[in-house]
Amino acid sequence: MRGLGTIINTLAVVLGGLIGMRFRAGISDKLQKTLMQACGVSSMFIGAGGTLAKMLSVSEDGTLAARGTLLLILSLVIGGLLGELIDLEEKMDRIGEQLKRAVKAQNDSAFVDGFVNVSLIICVGAMAIVGSIQDGISGDFSMLAAKSILDMIIAMVFASTYGMGAVCAALAVLVYQGAITLAAMLFGSFASQSVINDLSYVGNALIFCVGVNIAFGKKFRVGNLLPALVVAVLLNLVMGLFGVSLMNF
């Protein structure tokens, strides 16, 4: 059954989040702060690791060389400009506030941050894209099943500090991955491996920024940087017409 992977992933986030919320009431403010910092540092290293894995390569003389810096700079700068023009972060916060009212969590001050941050962490990544495409084309949901286990743990940990906002991130999974799966069902594999690599590269940089926000307070308007993902795809397609990859620069 095509689309089953997204359903499993969505339910896994809900389950993990609800389990995490069971522990929230018994956690002191001091411990919650420590857990928040731990989640932030973990996200930073996940994002940095994913970015550096694409950026760094070993040259013939055994030294490390950086590549893809131009793609990263152009994607983030142009994407940031577009994001600020449409104020995407404010729109995401507004969705969070609407969900907050819908689930009657008006007194939960961490709801919106939980919804936005967890949504970004579990949606911005190669597994979400590749797994959804595989699910849509052939019904192979094995990658999304593996991702579900990871996302359940992430939701569990974050819900223990963010509460219901982390649980509601399941809606982002359902809409985002469901849309990719549907597109794959209708149009086939619409994303080449190079496009997926570029998305993963820039996406991991955004995950690092999310981690900084979680650990140290809001330093980056990550929502307004999200168009960087679209810019990365467009740059890949345009430069591909000339047989050039920005990952080489």
Please list the pLDDT of the chain residue by residue as tens digits (249 residues): 788 999 999 999 999 999 998 887 667 778 878 888 888 898 899 889 989 988 988 777 778 888 899 999 999 999 999 999 999 889 988 988 898 888 877 777 888 988 999 999 888 877 888 889 889 988 888 999 999 998 999 899 889 888 899 999 999 999 999 999 998 888 776 678 888 889 889 989 999 999 899 888 888 999 899 999 999 989 998 988 888 888 888
Rounded CA gap, 121 and 106, in Å? 24
pLDDT at residue 193, as a whole number: 82
229: containing domain: 4-248
Comparing C-alpha atoms, which of 210, 207, 218, 155 is closest to residue 46? 207
Tokens of 227: 């168009």
At residue 197, the 3 state secondary structure works out as helix
pLDDT at residue 84, as a whole number: 95
Does residue 135 contact residue 184 with C-beta atoms inside 8 Å? yes
Rounded CA gap, 46 and 120, in Å? 13
Rounded CA gap, 213 and 215, in Å? 6
Rounded CA gap, 228 and 149, in Å? 28
Query: If you ran DSSP here, which 8-state letter would residue 25 be given?
Result: T
Query: If you ran DSSP here, which 8-state letter would residue 202 be given?
Result: H
pTM score, whole prediction: 0.86
Looking at the 3D structure of the chain, how many domains does it have? 1
Widest Cα–Cα separation across the chain: 61
pLDDT at residue 86, as a whole number: 92
Q: 87: which residues sit within 8 A by CB, 6+ positions away?
A: 224
pLDDT at residue 182, as a whole number: 92
Tokens 């595989």 found at:
134
Question: What percentage of the chain's residues is helix, strand, coil (to nearest 5)?
Answer: 80, 0, 20
pLDDT at residue 26, as a whole number: 67
Does residue 169 contact residue 122 with C-beta atoms inside 8 Å? yes
pLDDT at residue 248, as a whole number: 84
Rounded CA gap, 159 and 38, in Å? 13
- Give CA separation, 83 vs 79, 222, 231, in Å: 6, 9, 11
